[in-house]
Each structure stands twice: as C-alpha cells, then as structure tokens.
Chains A and B, each alone.
Chain A
C-alpha cells in the first residue's frame, strides 16, 4: 500500500504543471535572471576596492582587533583586498565623504560607528565588516574575562594580561569570528542572491508538502474523502505522499544545483557535501512548512499555495534576496526575526560555509532548520490526529 500510494503520488506530482513550474522551473528562471542582472555588478565589484577612511581616535589606536582587522583587509599585497583605507582626522573624513572620495568612514569612540551618506552595496559591506569585527571583539572580551576568572579561581592574582591576550587571540584565530578571510574576492553580492535563491527553492517544497496533505484529508479535497473511506491507515498514506513530495523536491533542488554550477558557473565553495546537506535539510524544513499550512488553514489549494509562496518570498526578502542590505538591517536591529526565519537559516548556513573556516555557525543553522521542521510537523500532527470531522 505504501509503495502503491508512493508511486502514484510521484506520478501525479511530476505531471502537475503548476507544481513543476514553482518547484523546478521558477527557481531556474529566477537564477538565470539573477545571473544576467548581477554578473556585471559582480565583475565591477571584483575590480573595485572600496575607498574608506578610519578616524584615528585613541580608541582605535588601542583596539588591536579593529586595527589588525582593517590592516589585513586593506593590505596592498593582497590582490583581493577589500578596502583602500585612509587613516585621517575626523574633519578630514567628513570632507572626504562629502566630496565622494570615500564610501564611508569608521569612527571608533565608545562604540564603533560607520558614517555613510547613501545606502548601497559598498556601504553595506563596510557596515557589515564593522559589525563582524565588533562581534569578534565581544567574543575576545568574553574569552579574556573567562580566562581571568579561571586564574582568579586558581588564586593566581599575578595575572599576565599579555599572555591571556595572546592565548585568546590564538583561540579566536581559527574561530568563526575570524573575519580575516573576508576579501573582495569572496564577499560576493551575487553569491548572497544565489543562496537566497536556493533557500527559496527549498521552501517552495512547501507547496509539494501541502499537496501531499490536501490529497489525503477528507476535509481538504474530494480525493481526500475518497481516500479516507479506503481501508488504509491515514498515517501510511500521508507518509508515502510526503516522501514522494520530498523526493520530487530534492530532484528539483538537484537540477537547480546542476544548472547553477554548470550553466551559470556559480561557485559554491569547496564543501559541496555540506552544501547538499544544508539544501536537503532546508527542503525538509520547506516541506514541513507546507504540511503545517495545509493542516492549519482550511482554504482551497490556491489560497494555501498563495500562503506558502508569500511566507517564502517574505522570508527570502528578509534574508537578502532583494538586496543584501535587508539582511544586514534585520540582523542588526531585529535579529530574532532572522533567527526564526527558515529562509535566513538556509541563506546564513550557505553564507557561513562560504565565508568562515569553521562549521559552528553552519551547524547552528542546520540544527535550527531541523528544530523548525520538527516544530512544524508537531503542530501538524496535532491537527492530523483527528479521524472524524465536524464538517467536510
């Protein structure tokens, strides 16, 4: 029975033109447009090094992390360097900005402040890098405090602060907070777009999940009524249909990868296995979202499809699909939204895989997606437990 239903579920999914468009064709079409629209930007970005200024305050001079990070990111020996940095007085920085000679400047007093006049890609990159360094600084501070605490607990009051500082730097050297790898080569605007595209494709699996549920519930469709009077367990039917949806979704994602890698020449980095792992988990999260929408909303297929597409597109918008600035704004001002946004979990997972040497942030996103998926399924199960309905 399981195989019988699975076979026919696959057959119906692959012959459903609307589903095939949204899950297979639409991401490929959108990817092609992204490639056409952003390839020029990408080329010019690679050539352009961003002109910035740093106000040489005492705080900056004494802040090793900021000083070293910007020094590394502006190192002329590095052909992929991100910044061309001028170290100036505040008044001069203002002048440079006013005369459009720099994108923006960094003013480090009590807190680091990035001053820009417009909002564009370069401005966003400067803000983003500053934010990343700030995070690194926080981590270093916390680690240092913890090291000092350990020494105090050992009743060693002759603390060698230089030694602790070096120890902390050693710890953070290989951590995900290490932003020294950020260069104009790998800080790619287009890559973020492709990450959100894959996130969108994964979440579009929700439409497939929704169909799997609708076809099997008596209160959702005529076919569901017919299936419900058959001597077959609802669990078996739903599980086989959802599995067929998941496999269809994975085939769609696989085709998208093939297309973007071979036709659009997108470089997903060296960790292709992890990229696939994230896409697989992301698709599962997308599927579970569709299952939950199907179970919780009593509406026709078109309305539910609209709900899934709206959630997906809005999630992708917040995670930077229509402009990386949005991801930065949300991360900075309302981080909880992106922590709960499955599109951002997928985008951020790819992002961390591409930009960071370690996998902590990547696995954090994978686990977050799994938690999201299981939460959606748990909510759905509650609704699916019903065997009879008040009205159909």
Chain B
C-alpha cells in the first residue's frame, strides 16, 4: 500500500510531538527532529508529484473509508505542486532559522520548532485535503499557530497585532464554516467531489449562493485580500523573522490555492462565471488591491512593512487573475502562486540576513549595505527584479500570462494596474538600492581613511546559503516556466 500522500502530513505532525517531548528532556534535540520530519515530508511530496505527473490523480482514503463517508485526500497536479513548494520552503527556512531563532527566542527555541512543525502540518493538510470540514480544522490549526508565533516578535507591538489578527481571523474562519454549513444543508455531504456532483443539480438555489459568498469572504479575509487586509502588515512586520520568512510566502499563497480549489473543484467555472457573473466586480477589487498595495508600500519607512504591503499587492494579482474567467488568467494565477512564493521567500530571506546584523530595519538604517553585506544584497536585488518583473526572472512570466489573460477578457483596467504596479515597485526598490549603495554619513567624515575599509559583516553561512539558493531558483523557475506550464498547469486546467 502506498502511503506517501499521508506521510506528507503525518511526518511533520508526528515529529512535532516528538519535538514537544524533547523540549522537556533535551531541548537541543528538537531542531534535528524538526529537520527530519520536514525532510521526510519533502521526499514524500516529491514522490507524489512524480506519481501524479505520470499516472494522474491520486486518491487516498484515510482510515480506509470510502469518500463521502470518510475523509479523502485527492491529489491532482495543482495540489502536488503546491505541496512540494510548501514543504521545500518550510524545510529551507528551517535550515536558515537555526541561527536567527537562537538570536531572537533563545530560551524557548524548542517550543518554537514544535509550533513551527504544527504550522507547516496545517499548511500541508490544507493543500492536500479533499474534504470541506477537514479544510476548516486545518486552517484553524495554521491560524492558531501563527497567532502564537507572531506574538513572540516585537515585545511592544506584536501581542497587540496578533490579537487583532485573532479577531479578524476568527471572523474569516467562522464565515468559511458557515458557508460549509449552508452547503451541507443543501447537499448533505462534505466531500468536495461529492458536493460538486450534487451542486450541479441545484445551481439556482439562494442557499448555495449564500454559501459561496460566505466561503469566498472567509477565505479572502484569511488571505488578506484588499478591503480585509488590515491585519496583515502589522502582524507580519512585528513577528519574529524566523517565522515571518515562512508565513509571508506561504500563508497567503496557500489560501489562494484554497480559493482556486473551491472555484474549480467545488463550485465549478460554469456556476461562477455563467450563472453568477460576479467576475467583473472581483477583478475590479483586485485592481484596487494592486494599486492601493503598491501605493501604500511606497509610503512606508520600514523595510519589513514595505514588503508586507507588496504581499497585499501580489494577492491582488492572483485573485484578479483567477477571476478573469479565462484559461490564460488562471494559468497566470497558478504560476504566480509558485513564483510569488519563491520571490517573497527570497526577499524575506535577505531581510532576515539584514535583521540578523542590523536589529532595526528602517530604510535609513540600510545605508552602506552593499558594502557590508554584498551577498545578501545580491540575493535581495535578484528577488526585487523578480517582483518588478524583469525578464529572465520568474516574476516576468507569470505577469505576462496575467496581462495576456486580462487583454483576452477585456479587463484593460486590470492590465493597466499590473503595469503601473510594476513601475511603482521598480521605483520602490531602486529607492532602497540607492539608500543601500551609499555609505552612511559617518561622524569622522573627511578623515579619508575610514572610507577605504569597508567591514564585511555577512550573515551566518547557513542563512547565506539558503538565501543564495532561493535567489538562483528564481532564475531557474523563470527559465523552466514553459515546462511548468506545459506539464503541470495546462493538463490540470484541461
């Protein structure tokens, strides 16, 4: 019997509790345990992806019960891709975190790793499951762990930011749960495929419409789509960097995956785009999200906070792209899940390296960084180019699909917003580069000698290694984006 689909989720979960015991016996053991768990998870995710590419959708019955009665894992190309993405980013971040967690949360690092594993378990579980209620439980697991870990950051502001996130997050999850209840009322089932089957017979029902709206709003709140984004910047800015690096690229992307999954598998394109005809309104919202995210990012003085607004902006890309209602837009949105996760991760890795040395990340603190941390800055520049959308990097290709999709759908405002936000982020990042390039105005200015020696203070080698690896992967993903689209995304959308 082939148990890889279950192992993806079970390995980190099992090791989380082993680490939880190790905390009390020998705290140093927690880290290697966590690494092992995530390594097994990556391995299984890789196996599953290979299997799905060669032989199609995998179904795995948990507890051995047939689908509508029991819970089922249903892994198709989209799941498998996101699973591999989530597990590898989580693993790489854990490698990079060893030093930074030691620096930030040294007295309870073991518990932090336990929590981290539970968080990753939640994300993987959300991605892999084929059951609507199981999805809710796992969303709550991810949220609960993020509430706790965000609050470990900045002593003054993090608990407040986190409590704010709790309130908004609970509303989001409860809306989703209500939506599931409304669907259950009309269909009597919780399995996604089964619900989709029954729904095709009762499309005109007002209950189904309500369920759809509730679930979408719930997921939008969780992903911080524009009017509901208020919790995200503070929560991510004040969280400890070891956690910010993984939550920023993954949480929002996984929620976008959930949205696409609900749209494609549960409700179906015909229902959303032909029966409801809501797509124009949502694409407009996406347009506003992109523009406002970019403008707000421009007005920030703290690097970390600036990047969080860029996340808000990128969410607009993906939601808008998915709701364009054509294949090109959806391809762009799915490709952008992959690319955006990688580039946000690269950006935050670079920021993590800076934070390791600098303590404060206001833009004015960054002066002279090109001299002080050349490798970190190289990674940062590469990631920034990808966000802007400079050709060899992967950011360009997904944006290209999105713009083509927008033209095909006649949503010129969306295409315009994409281009404007690219320009705005170019302005933004070149502003940062300019600050980093020039030396600080040191007090002994004019003595000449102090200028000639630049002390290189790089981050630890483990952090640099991961940062370099991920930055290079941006180019690799860019070069292979044609392959990714042809082997994974297009067969999935067929």
Are A and B part of the same complex? Answer: no
